[in-house]
Amino acid sequence: MTKPFLFSILLFISTFSLVTQPATASAAADDGSGDIDFIRASCNATLYPDLCFSSLSRFAGLVQRSPAALARVAVAVALSKAHGAAAYLSHQTAAADSSSGTGAALHDCFGNLEDAVDEIRGSLKQMQRLGPDSTSGSVRFGVSNVLTWMSAALTDEETCTDGFEGVPEGPLKTTVCDRVTRVKKFTSNGLALVNGFASNL
């Protein structure tokens, strides 16, 4: 379910980039290495630069050198990862004994992750509205909302893993915490790149 959704978002970004990217002779002759360098440099400002670059460099042709497009892609990728983790937790929660410590932690974690998915989805919708016809004031307001929602999503994801601190060690706890911790990294990177876009407004 997440792959078609992500594809549609990236298609939108591609169209947006074609509309907003200045058409110059040098840009037309560029082999794309500058686009890759732009993503690498942008990712170096995140907490997880290697993960950032490996997950976003494949979209260099869509992003080109647009901080706005890079932020949109990063948020879309974070949403895809969060949605996948929530789907996994949904199955695990349904099969778990809610009266046990692990079951209760799973239930709470799933609720927090659902909230995070909603917040990241709202962030992406807001980023999509920031088109070339937006006023500077509306862009700043929209980006401020995105920063708030992405921060809230990261907090919800952290609350999810914090809920397992008192749960005995086991394969399910390890798998869930590893999955959500990875989602946190994508969310953190998305937040950092939106913040980088905001700093250029």
Which residue's entry shows tokens 């709202």?
122
| pLDDT mean over 112-124 | 97
Mean pLDDT value across residues 100-107? 88
190 vs 34, which has greater pLDDT? 190
How far apart CA 90 and CA 138 sit, in angstroms, is 37
Per-residue model confidence (pLDDT) at position 5: 52
Q: What is the model's pTM?
A: 0.84
Phi and psi (nearest 5°) for 8? Answer: -65, -35
Domains of the chain and any CATH numbers: 2-18+32-199 (1.20.140.40)
Asked whether the predicted pLDDT for residue 32 surpasses 80, the reply is no
Q: How far is CA 118 from the centre of its chain?
A: 12
